[in-house]
Structure 1
Amino acid sequence: MNNTLCPGVSFDFTGKFLPPVLMIVFIVGLVANGWGLKSLLKNWKKLGDVNVFLLNLGLADILYLLTLPFLVVYYMGRKWIFGATFCKITRFCFNLNLYGTIGFLTCISVYRYLAIVHPMKVLGRTTVTHSVTISVLVWLLVGVQSLPDMFYTKTSGNYGEKCYETTHWMFVEDYLKYSLGWTLTGFCIPFLITLGCYGHVIVILCSKNSTDKVLEQKCMKLLFILILLFCVCYIPYHLLKNLNLWSRVLTNQKICHGWSDGVYIAHQISRGLVCLNSALNPLVYLHGNKDIPAQLRRLLQRARHAVMCVSIAPPRVPRV
């Protein structure tokens, strides 16, 4: 509990907003990632070296999605009943998913950049072995960045009723410093690398009239997907997470401010948005595989046909 003279923040919004969002992400994310991974394995040889990164992207999503039902129970009942250790594991899975996703999207961007801007230099030099090695390094780097988070107190109350996304009020000042460094290394640097790669790719493609238009369209689509992910999921979350931590630090120092409630609510919305990355990541499969849009159209046609058949079927009259 916060024992300052400042007015407390209302936590009612979290219990109303996050459970339905997390349930939707859980259902859509599992279906989309399962479908995407199945298609990826089916078309393994067609997608090239980046398929290793796509596979890891899907595995990171599923790892996090499996923890969402526990968080739904927590936010609906406002009590964490699964123990302090599992609370830390749940938060750790979220961090692995978030920063692993950013890392693998950055790898995909760099590979696309090298293939388009420096094709002769990398011809025959990038292999599946290289992709696997880089993927292992990404997991190790993300694990090292996320590991300190495990040592912060995540629960409070007599029976561990709270499961903090960050940490307890007592340690929030130290956590803010850690979070700022984590944001720089885990988000800002990969974001700048991704932005630089695709910015240069677009300049190269637009400056050459002889460039393959199909390749140009693919790059523009992937650039749009990445901009969507970063602008909707990642930028608001990191900005508001650190701002909310700073608000808590000020409150601990008995520096009252009227914007704490607004920042808290905005941060909860950003938490819902960042969870959407697990449902939006399969868009990368849509970009990389031509078969998936066709499968999606066939699936929608079958669903429409089934609905029409049900709607026009004559009612059955029970026999007397």
Structure 2
Amino acid sequence: MLACATLLYTYLTLPAIYTSVFIIGLGANVWGLKSVLQKWKILGHINVFLLNLGIANFLFLPTLPFLSAYYFMKSKWIFGNAFCKITRFCFNLNLYGSIGFLTCISVYRYLAIVHPMKVMGRITVTHSVAISVMVWLLVSVQSFPDMFFPKNEPNRTEKCYHTTSKEYVEDYLKYSVGWTFTGFVIPLLILLGCYGHVTLVLCRINTIDKVVKQRSLKLMFILILLFSVCYIPYHIFKNLSLYSRVLYSTNKKYPSWDKTVFCAHQISRGLVCLNSVLNPLVYLHVMDIPAQIRQMLQHFRQIFFNTNDSHEFVYYTVLHPVNYCSLFLQQQFGHKLLYKYI
């Protein structure tokens, strides 16, 4: 029963998911990148990471029709071995590139809230570009060895495995575990550390602007959703499935939990590609900011310029509205600050 359900999912549901993600993801990412380019100067340095996040999606989305056709034809690949490896490589670039740039956005937001003047004022566009290049290099170095593993069996050249053939599965498991640690676990720990600290800061200071708290919590929810739905299940079940195959190659017998893990892994492969649809939620979260900036500035003028306080208040923002200048103002109330319009 479980085997039939798995086959039904693999050959019908998975192609349907890929087709839907291709259509919806293409439209959502075109809209997202268009919005980023239109508001390039308003967004500041974070626009570089958003742009690269969109590029990562566009590397993967054009391959989905081919993968959809592959599974719809009951795992028969008719596009050649070279294109099979390119397709799988693009998938990995999208997956780990997305994780990398989401982590960069999280660190940027963390610095903007916790260290708005000490660090954020020193970050330039050049730094953001250099970090983006470094992310692409790391992701490429991590993903490139995958292309050297065979994607089909010697006597089954019509296959296009997303891992490798049974002869090399033990070596691939070792590679996959290291890849998971460097490409997923470390970014996840960085993200959790950043947003854990941000949450403490937001909860500790009761005078923080309500809009600031809402926007921080919204982004945190989006990223938790992305990692919980798309990334965590995929990495867990991928490595468990590989481990099961290693056990079979050693003992000539699959463990009792193999079918359950295999089924969960197939489902997680459909879920992981949803990141190309969910990533534009990050664009959506950042896009609705100009009106809030004007509202915040007007609010500041009403508060400070209509008082008799002897201090001179000049406000500072860091080239991006979600740097939460209001948090910095509340922490530094009564001190002379520098304000520069974006």
Identity of aligned residues (%): 67
Alpha-carbon offset, residue 137 of structure 1: 0.2
Alpha-carbon offset, residue 215 of structure 1: 1.4
How big is the alpha-carbon RMSD for the aligned residues of Structure 1 and Structure 2?
1.8
Alpha-carbon offset, residue 264 of structure 1: 1.0
Q: 1:181 aligns with which of 173, 178, 183?
A: 178
Matched, 1:262 2:260: yes
Q: In the aligned structure 2, how far is the partner of 1:141 from the partner of 1:212? A: 38
Alpha-carbon offset, residue 176 of structure 1: 0.4
Matched, 1:229 2:243: no
Q: Secondary structure at the match of 2:118?
A: helix
Question: Which residue does 2:275 correspond to in 1?
Answer: 277
Question: Which residue does 1:55 correspond to in 2?
Answer: 51
Deviations 1:219-265 (A, max 9, x none): 10000000000000000000000000011111112133232222111
Alpha-carbon offset, residue 12 of structure 1: 5.2
Unaligned runs of 5+ residues in structure 1 are 1-6, 293-320
Q: 1:44 aligns with which of 40, 47, 53?
A: 40
Alpha-carbon offset, residue 65 of structure 1: 0.4
Q: In the aligned structure 2, how far is the partner of 1:256 from the partner of 1:227? A: 34
TM-score by length of 2: 0.81
Q: In the aligned structure 2, how far is the partner of 1:123 from the partner of 1:171? A: 47
Alpha-carbon offset, residue 174 of structure 1: 0.6
Q: In the aligned structure 2, how far is the partner of 1:281 from the partner of 1:246? A: 30
How many residues align? The count is 286
User: Using a 3 Å threshold, how does the CA distance of structure 1 residues 10 and 123 change in structure 2: closer, same or farther?
Assistant: closer
Alpha-carbon offset, residue 181 of structure 1: 0.5
Q: Secondary structure at the match of 1:163?
A: coil
Q: In the aligned structure 1, how far is the partner of 2:240 from the partner of 2:128? A: 36
Please give the residue correspondences for 1:1-320 in structure 2 after superposition, counting only pairs within 5 Å.
11=7, 13-77=9-73, 78-156=75-153, 158=155, 160-253=157-250, 254-290=252-288
Q: Secondary structure at the match of 1:217?
A: helix
Point out 4+ residue stretches in structure 1 off by more than 4 angstroms.
9-12
Deviations 1:110-159 (A, max 9, x none): 11111110111124311111111100000000000001111100123546
Q: In the aligned structure 2, how far is the partner of 1:28 from the partner of 1:213? A: 33
TM-score by length of 1: 0.86
Mean Cα deviation higher: 17-26 or 246-255: 246-255
Q: For the Cα contact (< 8 Å) 1:87–1:155, is it kept in 2?
A: no
